[in-house]
């Protein structure tokens, strides 16, 4: 193996670099959006619930749009789903706030968040399914 081929074996592919940049830029946008929401809604259980439910709704729309209509490339899915929505929603904040709320309210918050998140994804899916016809 020549020194040139050894060097290129450790370089990421162009596709990997593009995916990394898409997720990083999307993450920046999602984090800024989350910050803007946090400054408008006090960061409490309801604020995190709003962010996570909204994120699930848009993820449902986006992913089903991709699955059923194939309108988005893999890079676009990474940018939106992993980058923007992934950094906008916060599982860690959900867990910390649920723990701090105490056993009863914390457990209730987790259940409500889970149900609203699943419902929001289902609604996002319905938006795409009914828009097709």
User: Is residue 1 in a domain?
Assistant: no
In a domain, 90, yes or no: yes
From 6, 32, 35, select the one nearest 84 (Cα to Cα).
32
In a domain, 36, yes or no: yes
Nearest by Cα to 43 from 116, 93, 115 = 93
How many domains are contained in the chain? Answer: 1
Are residues 47 and 109 in contact, defined by beta-carbon separation less than 8 angstroms?
no
Q: Is 108 contained in some domain?
A: yes
Could you tell me which of 46, 128, 43, 124 has the C-alpha nearest to residue 85?
A: 124
Q: Is residue 4 part of a domain?
A: no
The pTM for the full model equals 0.72
Q: Which domain holds residue 25?
A: 14-131
Return per-residue pLDDT of the chain as tens, 133 residues: 555 555 555 778 999 999 999 999 999 999 999 888 877 766 566 778 888 888 889 888 888 888 778 888 889 988 998 899 989 987 777 887 888 889 999 999 999 999 999 999 999 999 988 876 5
Residue 6 is assigned to a structural domain of this protein: no
């Amino acid at each position: 193996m020549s020194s040139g081929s050894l060097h290129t074996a450790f370089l990421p592919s162009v596709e990997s670099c593009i995916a990394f940049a898409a997720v990083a830029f999307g993450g920046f946008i999602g984090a800024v959006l989350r910050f803007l929401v946090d400054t408008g809604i006090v960061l409490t259980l309801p604020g995190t619930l709003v962010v996570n439910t909204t994120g699930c709704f848009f993820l449902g729309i986006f992913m089903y749009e991709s699955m059923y209509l194939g309108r988005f490339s893999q890079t676009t899915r990474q940018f939106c789903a992993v980058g923007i929505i992934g950094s906008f929603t916060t599982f860690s904040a959900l867990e910390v706030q649920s723990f701090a709320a105490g056993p009863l309210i914390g457990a209730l918050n987790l259940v409500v968040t889970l149900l609203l998140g699943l419902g929001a994804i289902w609604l996002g899916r319905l938006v795409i399914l009914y828009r097709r016809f």
